[in-house]
Structure 1
Amino acid sequence: MSKVKTMEEMPLSKIHFKIFAYTSGSTFVDGYVLGIIAVALSIMQPYFDMSPIVTGLIGAATLAGMFVGGTFGGFLTDLVGRKKMFILNMLILAILSILQFFVQDPLQLFMLRFFIGFALGADYPISGALMTEFSPKKHRGILLGGINGLWFIGYAVSFLAGYFMLSIGDESWRWMLSSSVVPVVLLLIARMNMPESPRWLAKQGREKEANAIVKEIFGEHVIISDENESTEKTTFLDIFRNGYGKWVIFVSVFWSIQVMTTFSIGTYIPEILGQFGVNDGSQEYLGSAVINILYLAGLLPILYLVEKYGRRPTLIWPLLITSITLLTLGATSGLNIPFALILALFVIYGTFNTGMGAHQWIYPYELFPTHIRATAGGFTTGISRIASAVSTFVFPLILGNFGLANTLYISGALLFIGFLVAVFMAPETKNMSISQASSIDSGRPQEDSFTQSKKVK
């Protein structure tokens, strides 16, 4: 009789890449939606005669919506399932994307951007939970970390799209904002054929459906898991109990600090480049696109290193390097240095920032069990997005009142705080099964790794 294997022991196959495509679409759309507003805001500002405060509120609206969407969407995902929420989110996003074309005042746009953020925030925990629950143990870090890389692709594509749509005219911002409907509809169609998570089905007592999916995808002699996981019903407060509160704090803090600088600098990078002297026509927009594309240079190395050397060192060192880079940019901001050097420093910052960004998808979904995985992932997503919203709103005010150098110093100092948090709190989950990773410091007992497989035999 063939040896029984678990889903986590299976080699990489077509289904894993399909799930990766379904889930990474979330971050591509998120990156595109958050990136295109940076170009659109600079074009529409004279159209609506917006004050810096109104501009900041619109720039932060999507992130504020993600706080609400992540918090409640993750909880709903653990209650009703991954697939239903996946499809519903994309349908809502398609409608909201089109409506942006018809806005008549800043308040309408603010409300639309908030609800777009709600749907995007809800999509994050669905993606993270689903990819985690399908991933092989030896490649989980690569697959989860790779999802984050699509955010930078979407962000870079948005700047390129915005750059080429500038030629449409004064109302090109309408086309820019509504253009997000294209990737959203493509993703909606693709997700119609995705499977539900067998782990989630099993937690709901629907073992027959769960086993049928596993058998269809992986064949005979494959089981969902050979370890004992909690069979408790999902309650929101469980993410703070049994030792999990520590991980909620850890993930929320390092993620918030990292994205505060990512979104604040990323959203206003055309203005930053303009203050560095890169303000020849639309050159700052093209420079923004080039910088964001080059950020992807940090993706492939981190996906290799996170499995070879572990999660902990690949979070700690990038936090330190990005901190030093932004402090250096602050020190050189008034020296009229060549654009090539400015570009190089931004690329160093961006590549290492991309690298540590992979942990936004690894830690939140490895450190929590199935019945609260999406809830915890959604809550920490929400916390990171409210931090991003605050920084996106405050950043232009700090930039205007205190200057570019001090703004970069503050950003560098925040990343150094993140470095210290990672040094003292970051756990190592490399080569652990989902059950083992989600049991660190929780006191939850583990079943003998061969018990269930023997029972199946």
Structure 2
Amino acid sequence: MTAISAASGTHLIDDGPLTRYHRRLIAACSGGPFLDGYLLSIVGVALTGASAELRLDSVQLGLAGAASLVGLFLGSLALGPITDRIGRKMMYTVDLLAMVIGSLACLFISNGVQLILLRLVVGLAVGADYPIATALLTEWIPKKRRGAIIGWLSTIWLVGAIVAYLVGFLLSSTFGQGSWRWMLASGALFGAIVMLLRFGAHESPRWLVAKGRLEEARQALSKALERPVSLEDVHALVATDEPETKANFVALLKAPFLKRTLFCGLTWMCIALPQFALFTYGPIILAQFGLGHGGAEETLGQIVLNLGFLIGSLPALRWVETRGRRPLMIWTFVAAAVFLLPLGLWPEGPGWFVMVFFFLFTLASGAGTILVFIYPNELFPTSIRASAVGLATAISRIGAAIGTYMVPLSLSGIGTGPTMLIGVGLTVLGLVISIAWAEETRNKSLASLTTKILTTVKG
């Protein structure tokens, strides 16, 4: 491959413009995270009614909240490598169908075991979607816009969570807590809409080239870039310094990628665990602080907190490109720890105090949320990108699932204040890991980030 063709190949995607196809792809890939946020959050409202009707004890309540995270762990772990093997596009339909069917089946739940099993199925489908949508979008987007656009997937996840609580609030305030089945089933409607959005998406040209399907890559690029693309241009997409790695976790668990794998998974866990505690048990936690008594009031408070996550993510979409990934990650953990600490020290504080510091915490945490998809997609080569996203997701969900299961036990066992202090400890852990391992990937080509780590190891 000549230097001229390599430069041309880089220009095709990394240095190219955003076209109409890119915008359609962004909308299509955003549908999955929106649905993920919705499905993982609607249970937070539904559990109040489900717990009363199905007579769930603390163990069952914890399992019902954590089941989707366990499923997400298993789904991302198993289906990330499959996505690397058979392609990003092909995996779209199966996971969406599972989301729709699993949601509709919730209309017929009659006991706690069925609730736990169906939440497990939904989690499996959500886990499949993370590697699919993020890897496909990463491999199509120019480098100058890549961080903000991949970060947008986390923001739209938060939009889905907010919509879930709005739907839950409307149903619970109109029809009472007995509407919890319809809350869980409502995800099927959004799933059908997302399936329609994904028609017309092309396979990743980087993945096609890696599989030797050059003519398919050329056709996809020509349609997406709205100009003729030659086979020489397509050949230039093959980065000669990118490793030929099988689509499995072996490469991710040894040098030179192990540190990056641990960094992505552990920091994601430290961000996700306090967030999922709020998403899943927000109304219950707010009630523990004395805000409301098991009705729609706590749900309304949860909507306000979810808006904090969303608002915090919006300026971060700009900062991630102007100030960089590393400083955003570090300062997110600093601010989150500072704002969560008062809730641990003074859990008996007045309602305004609780809501103010919870809201400030959500602003800080929301800013860091956009990085959880960016880092694993940028730090690994095409051949194992979806596997890396899947493994990072799995690592994060091990802790998040355990933590979510423990929240109701912790609240009833050691109290609200100590539970909040555990959250502070997690954010401090994330800060330490970020200071030690966070890299700066802003405005760099995907191939150059692979070259960097390989060169460092060889040196």
Corresponding position of 1:250: 263
Q: Which residue of 2 aligns with 1:148?
A: 154
Q: CA deviation at 1:14?
A: 2.1
Matched residue, 1:454: none
The aligned residue for residue 363 of structure 1 is 375
- What is the CA distance between 1:322 and its match in structure 2? 0.3
The CA deviation at 1:441 is 2.1
Aligned to 2:197: 190
Q: Is the counterpart of residue 353 in structure 1 residue 365 in structure 2?
A: yes
Name the residue aligned to 2:210: 203
Paired letter, 1:390: I
2:291: which partner in 1? Answer: 278
Matched, 1:427 2:439: yes
Alignment match, 1:60: 66
Contact 1:33 1:177 in 2 (8 A): yes
**Are the aligned partners of 1:86 and 1:123 in contact in 2 as well (CA < 8 Å)?**
yes
Check if 1:234 corresponds to 2:247. Answer: yes
After TM superposition, the score normalised by the length of structure 2 is: 0.93
- CA–CA distance in structure 2, aligned partners of residues 30 and 234 of structure 1: 24
Secondary structure of 1:353's counterpart equals: helix
Correspondent of 2:326 among 302, 312, 325 = 312
Counterpart AA for 2:429: I
Secondary structure of 1:324's aligned partner: helix
CA contact (8 A) 1:242 1:443 kept: no
- 1:393 pairs, out of 405, 411, 417, with 405
Does the CA contact (< 8 Å) of 1:6 and 1:226 recur in 2? no
Aligned: 1:327 with 2:333: no
Shift of 1:437: 1.8
Amino acid at match of 1:181: A
Q: Which residue is equivalent to 2:36?
A: 30
Amino acid at match of 1:191: R
CA–CA distance in structure 2, aligned partners of residues 60 and 40 of structure 1: 14
Q: Secondary structure at the match of 2:14?
A: helix
SS in 2 for 1:84: coil
Does 2:387 correspond to 1:375? yes
Q: 2:272 aligns with which of 259, 263, 277?
A: 259
Q: What residue identity is the alignment partner of 1:374?
A: A
CA deviations on 1:206-247 (whole Å, 9 max, x unpaired) are: 011001110121113584537423344433312224401111
Specify the code of the residue in structure 2 equivalent to 1:313: P
Deviation at 1:119, TM superposition (A): 0.9
- Greater mean deviation of Cα atoms: 139-148 or 380-389: 380-389
Partner of residue 20, structure 1: 26
Q: Give the Cα separation in 1 of the matches to 2:80 and 2:171.
A: 35
2:134 to 123, 128, 133: 128
Tell me if the contact between 1:367 and 1:440 (Cα under 8 Å) persists in the aligned partners.
no
Displacement of 1:392? 0.6
CA distance in 2, matches of 1:352, 1:19: 29
Instruction: Decide which moves more: 280-289 or 72-81.
Output: 280-289
Query: For residues 8-37 of structure 1, what are the alpha-carbon distances to aligned partners after superposition, in whole Å with 9 as ceiling and x for unaligned?
Result: 111223222222222222221111111111
Matched, 1:212 2:219: yes
Q: Kindly indicate whether the alpha-carbon contact (under 8 Å) linking 2:206 and 2:238 is maintained by their aligned counterparts in 1.
A: no
Question: Which residue identity does 2:67 align to in structure 1?
Answer: A
2:23 matched to 1:10?
Answer: no
Structure 2 SS opposite 1:35 = helix
Secondary structure of 2:71 counterpart: helix
Q: What residue in structure 2 maps to residue 451 of structure 1?
A: none
Matched, 1:404 2:450: no
Change (3 A) 1:84 1:48: same
User: In 1, are the aligned partners of 2:13 and 2:141 still within 8 Å (CA)?
Assistant: yes
- Secondary structure of 1:6's counterpart equals helix
Distance in structure 1 (CA, Å) of the matches to 2:246 and 2:424? 42
Following the alignment from structure 1 to structure 2, what is the Cα–Cα distance between the partners of residues 120 and 215?
31
TM-score by length of 1: 0.93
Q: Which moved more, 1:270-279 or 1:123-132?
A: 270-279
Where in structure 2 are there 5+ consecutive unaligned residues?
Answer: none
Tell me whether 367-376 or 215-224 shows the greater mean CA deviation.
Answer: 215-224
SS at match of 2:314: helix
Q: What displacement does 1:171 show? A: 2.9
Deviates more, 1:293-302 or 1:199-208: 293-302
Query: For residue 181 of structure 2, what is the aligned residue in structure 1?
Result: 174
- Cα offsets for 1:368-403 (capped at 9, x unmatched): 000000011111111112211111100111111111
RMSD after superposition = 2.0
State the Cα distance separating 1:141 from its structure 2 match. 0.4
Aligned partner of residue 414 in structure 2, secondary structure: helix
Report how far residue 93 of structure 1 moved.
Answer: 1.3
Q: Note the residue ranges of structure 1 that are not aligned, 5 or more in a row.
A: 447-457
Residues 91-106 of structure 1 mapped to structure 2, 5 A cutoff: 91-106=97-112
Compute the displacement of 1:444 (Å).
8.6
